[in-house]
């Protein structure tokens, strides 16, 4: 099957007071047409930076892509012109941003903001675009669509704004939809509705979804394939069932242990000891070694490569080179 997204050795660096921050460090990522791939990891692991790099939205003032290739539908996005990239964004390639209130224009109505990509990419007239905008508002489950089209962002709740972001993103029927923490700060019932909506979009249009989240419940519910990132690097990759049944990397195991289990009593919820290292202070060691209960001497001096184990599984861990005794 032809890959819709094929990211190869992508590295995105930012400047900081402590030096260069390797937000994304040699990322390989594939997304097939119609597939849902979840990128999971703690805050600061490089998930959003990877998505922004794919979209070509890294601010030149703050950072830049320093290496790698970003292929989308057979085109290397790092080599296309800004004009070509602008034609792709919002059309074939769309993104639901993490903070809808800061992503929407406060001085334009909801209708105007949904109409914009329709006028720009589909060349609809204003009357046609407005009718389509109202249809999209209804599609994402918001009542009183005509009134909502005339409203401004500050007049809507967080859940409604997130739905509007989805309406804008799907307005031109993109081939890839990037959803960056689409359910963050929403209550449980709204979260479920948003996820149901994303599933419906995928089923009806065949849109591939790249879902960025730290919520393993969302991963279990939505993903076909999972990529686990830590400190800018991929540490494990697997089909969703395999990842939950037998996680290979100690970091993935820690993430799964940290998830609350319904009807299971425990004195204290498990948390991975320590903190994610500052990306400007990383050395040559495994970035997870000082938080890992299975750390070997080799882990302290050399970062393990990401190795393919078959059946779509990859892991970057020396424990799978040394015959170390722990439950795999």
Q: 82 with 120, same domain?
A: no
Give the pLDDT score at 281.
81
Secondary structure percentages of the chain, helix, strand, coil, to 5: 35, 25, 40
pLDDT: is 16 or 105 the higher one?
105
Same-domain check for residues 294 and 191: yes
Q: What is the mean pLDDT of the chain?
A: 90
Does 128 map to a domain? yes
| Each residue's pLDDT tens digit, 130-141 | 999 999 999 998
Q: Is residue 326 part of a domain?
A: no
CATH code for the domain in which residue 250 is found: 3.40.50.300
Structural domain contains residue 327: no
Contacts of residue 197, defined as CB under 8 A and 6 or more positions apart, other chains included, come to: 140, 141, 163, 166
**Same domain, residue pair 153 and 13:** no
Note whether 225 and 234 are within 8 A (CB).
no
Confidence (pLDDT) at 217: 87
Total count of domains within the chain: 2
CA distance 217 to 75: 34
325 versus 225: which is more confidently predicted? Answer: 225
> Per-residue pLDDT tens for 21-65?
999 999 999 999 999 999 999 888 999 999 999 999 998 888 899
Cα 33 to chain center, whole Å? 16
Domain that holds residue 145: 105-171
Largest CA distance in the chain: 67
Question: How many angstroms separate the Cα of 63 from the Cα of each of 11, 254, 265, 280, 287?
Answer: 11, 31, 46, 13, 22
**CA distances (Å), origin 306, targets 18, 21, 26, 39, 326:** 27, 21, 10, 16, 20
Average pLDDT value for residue range 267-271: 76
Angle at 132 between CA 129 and CA 136, to 5 degrees: 135
Query: Which of 171, 187, 219 is at the close of a domain?
Result: 171
Flag whether 325 is in a domain: no
If asked whether residues 165 and 196 sit together in one domain, one would say no
Structure tokens of 226?
A: 């999972």
Q: What is the pLDDT of residue 1?
A: 53
Read off the pLDDT of residues 233-266 as tens digits, 9 standing for 90 and up: 999 999 999 999 999 999 999 999 887 766 666 5
- Alpha-carbon gap, residue 242 to 248, rounded angstroms: 10
> pTM for the complete prediction?
0.91
**Of residues 320 and 253, which shows the higher confidence score?**
253
Is residue 221 domain-resident?
Answer: yes
């Amino acid at each position: 099957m032809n890959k819709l997204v094929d990211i190869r050795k992508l590295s995105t660096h930012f400047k900081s007071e402590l030096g260069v921050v390797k937000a994304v460090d040699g990322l390989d990522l594939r997304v097939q047409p119609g597939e849902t791939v979840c990128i999971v990891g703690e805050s600061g692991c490089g998930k959003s930076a990877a998505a922004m790099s794919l979209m070509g939205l890294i601010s030149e003032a703050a950072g830049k892509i320093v290496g790698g290739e970003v292929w989308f539908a057979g085109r290397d996005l790092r080599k296309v012109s800004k004009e070509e990239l602008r034609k792709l964004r919002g059309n074939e390639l769309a993104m639901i941003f993490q903070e809808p209130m800061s992503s929407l224009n406060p001085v334009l109505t909801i209708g105007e903001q949904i109409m914009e990509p329709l006028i720009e990419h589909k060349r609809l007239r204003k009357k046609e675009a407005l009718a389509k905008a109202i249809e999209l508002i209804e599609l994402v489950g918001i009542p009183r669509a005509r009134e909502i089209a005339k409203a401004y962002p500050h007049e809507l709740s967080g859940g409604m704004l997130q739905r509007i972001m989805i309406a804008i993103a799907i307005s031109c029927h993109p081939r890839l939809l990037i959803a960056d923490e689409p359910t963050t700060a929403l209550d449980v019932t709204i979260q479920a509705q948003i996820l149901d909506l994303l599933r419906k979009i995928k089923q009806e249009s065949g849109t591939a979804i790249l879902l960025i989240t730290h919520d393993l419940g969302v991963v279990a519910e939505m993903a076909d394939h999972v990529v686990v990132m830590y400190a800018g690097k991929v540490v494990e990759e697997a089909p969703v069932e395999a990842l939950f049944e037998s996680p290979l990397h100690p970091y993935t195991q820690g993430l799964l242990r940290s998830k609350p289990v319904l009807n299971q009593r425990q004195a204290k919820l498990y948390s991975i000891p320590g903190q994610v290292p500052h990306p400007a202070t990383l050395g040559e060691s495994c970035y997870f070694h000082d938080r890992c209960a299975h750390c070997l001497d080799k882990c302290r001096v050399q970062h393990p490569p990401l190795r393919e184990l078959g059946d779509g599984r990859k892991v970057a861990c020396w424990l799978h080179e040394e015959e170390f005794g722990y439950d795999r």
